[in-house]
Amino acid sequence: MPASRSLFDTVRLGSLELPNRLVMPPLTRTRAAADGVPTPMMAEYYALRAEAGLIIAEAATPSVVGQTYPNITAIHRPEHIAGWRRVTDAVHAAGGRMFLQLQHGGRIGHPDTSGFVPLAPSPVPLDEPIHTPFGKQDPVVPREMTLDDIRDTIADFAAAARNAIEAGFDGVEVHSANGYLLHQFLAKSSNRRTDAYGGPVENRIRFTLEVVDAVVAAVGPERVGVRVSPGFTANAIEEGDTEAIYRALVPALAARPPLAYLHIAFADVDRPLTHEMRAAWPGVLIMNPLLPQDHLPADGGRSEAERALAAGADLVSLGRAFIANPDLVHRLRTGAPLNPLRGGLWYVGGEAGYLDYPVLASATV
């Protein structure tokens, strides 16, 4: 690995040439319409950040029953495709590159939001209230997925991937992280099945692998990335045997036709497992550095991003820094000061905290 690697190197990602190693990761902002159709402000928001080496757009649900919260995006109807096409056209016109994250909420859902009892590996509910159109509600006990439900959900992911390509995305990211459906299958706390999808780790990784295989068959391996979050504990997830899960999952993914990338959320470069995953993964690796949760570092995470590169990352994703700084790449390249983050406006809807972060041309510095 060359010692001179920089965040501003060009990188090949499948058929794409990325102008830098900085990735805007998927960041739910709840600015879609109630039916999941992307809004015009979303096209402007993403186009402002097109200088990122890669944008991975916020999680989009592959089916109605997979919806998590109000005003998140979807990709299972013609209206969704048309709405996302306006976003991808704006990003491509600004010179950017864009994948779409595909996410099924599993038990992180509510009938008040989707109209359905949520599906999950096992009837194990969340242990915390969930956001709905009527405020926070107690979680409901999810319905354990039948084998038909599993097959249908896999087909939904494949159809969503095809829809994403039709909508103009350069690829898709399969979300097997952060406590959502695929991660629920991986974790012992949420997967208590006794069939081929539960029990031993080889069974618990099966659903993620089958979703990835179906999405690859739909759009091609070079257009498919996978996101994981080893050791993630929010959303009532307790993996139970984290090292065993990823020692099985990563080599199994690596044995498939070469995927676009593997994306490690909350990657701790001081953790041996992170280095094991790098060694087991022969392709492009994105690390999302483990940063403080209560504030944005003064350097926007640059020092941790550079540590991730030194630990073997090919690309580095920085979330909150991109929220507050549409021109983050330029600011990091030039050492310009960063905009402060206004966390109270992440999910409120409207343009405040969404379209009003200044770029350098209009900022007071």
Give the per-residue pLDDT at 3.
55
Give the per-residue pLDDT at 209.
99
**β-sheet bridge partners, residue 171:** 99
Q: Assess contact for 246 and 194: CB atoms under 8 A.
A: no
Give the per-residue pLDDT at 130.
96
Give 94's contacts (C-beta < 8 A, 6+ positions apart): 47, 48, 50
Q: Does 69 participate in catalysis according to the annotation? A: no
DSSP, collapsed to helix, strand or coil, labels residue 172 as: strand
DSSP, collapsed to helix, strand or coil, labels residue 87 as: helix
**What span, in angstroms and rounded, lies between the C-alpha atoms of 84 and 280?**
34
> Which stretch of DSSP H or E encloses residue 362?
none
Please write the tens of the pLDDT for every residue from 261-318.
Answer: 999 999 999 999 999 999 999 999 999 998 887 788 989 999 999 999 999 999 999 9
Dihedral over alpha carbons 261, 262, 265, 271 (to 10 degrees): -130
Burial 299-336 (b: 16+ CB within 10 A, else e): bbbbebbbbbbebbbbbbbbbbbbbbbbbbbebbbeee
Query: pTM for the full model?
Result: 0.96
Ordered by where they begin, the domains of the chain are 11-345 (3.20.20.70)
Beta strand 16-18 pairing with 11-13: antiparallel
Beta strand 11-13 pairing with 315-317: unpaired
Q: What secondary structure letter does DSSP report for 344?
A: G
Q: Assess contact for 66 and 109: CB atoms under 8 A.
A: yes
Q: What secondary structure letter does DSSP report for 364?
A: -
Give the per-residue pLDDT at 363.
41
Q: What secondary structure letter does DSSP report for 139?
A: P
Burial of 280 (0-12, 13-18, 19+ CB in 10 A): middle
Q: How far is CA 159 from the centre of its chain?
A: 18
Look at the block and give the residue holding tokens 């979303």: 42
Q: In the chain, what is the straight-line distance between the N-terminal and C-terminal CA atoms, in Å?
A: 37
Burial of 265 (0-12, 13-18, 19+ CB in 10 A): buried
Give the per-residue pLDDT at 107.
98
Give the per-residue pLDDT at 269.
96
**What span, in angstroms and rounded, lies between the C-alpha atoms of 154 and 137?**
29
Q: How far is CA 59 from the centre of its chain?
A: 6
Look at the block and give the residue holding tokens 């999910």: 347
Tens-digit pLDDT profile for the chain (365 aa)? 445 799 999 999 999 999 999 999 999 999 999 999 999 999 999 999 999 999 999 999 999 999 999 999 999 999 999 999 999 999 999 999 999 999 999 999 999 999 999 999 999 999 999 999 999 999 999 999 999 999 999 999 999 999 999 999 999 999 999 999 999 999 999 999 999 999 999 999 999 999 999 999 999 999 999 999 999 998 999 999 999 999 999 999 999 999 999 999 999 999 999 999 999 999 999 999 988 877 889 899 999 999 999 999 999 999 999 999 999 999 999 999 999 988 788 888 899 999 999 999 744 33
Q: Assess contact for 60 and 160: CB atoms under 8 A.
A: yes
Annotated catalytic residue: which of 45, 69, 180, 246? Answer: 180
**What span, in angstroms and rounded, lies between the C-alpha atoms of 2 and 101?**
31
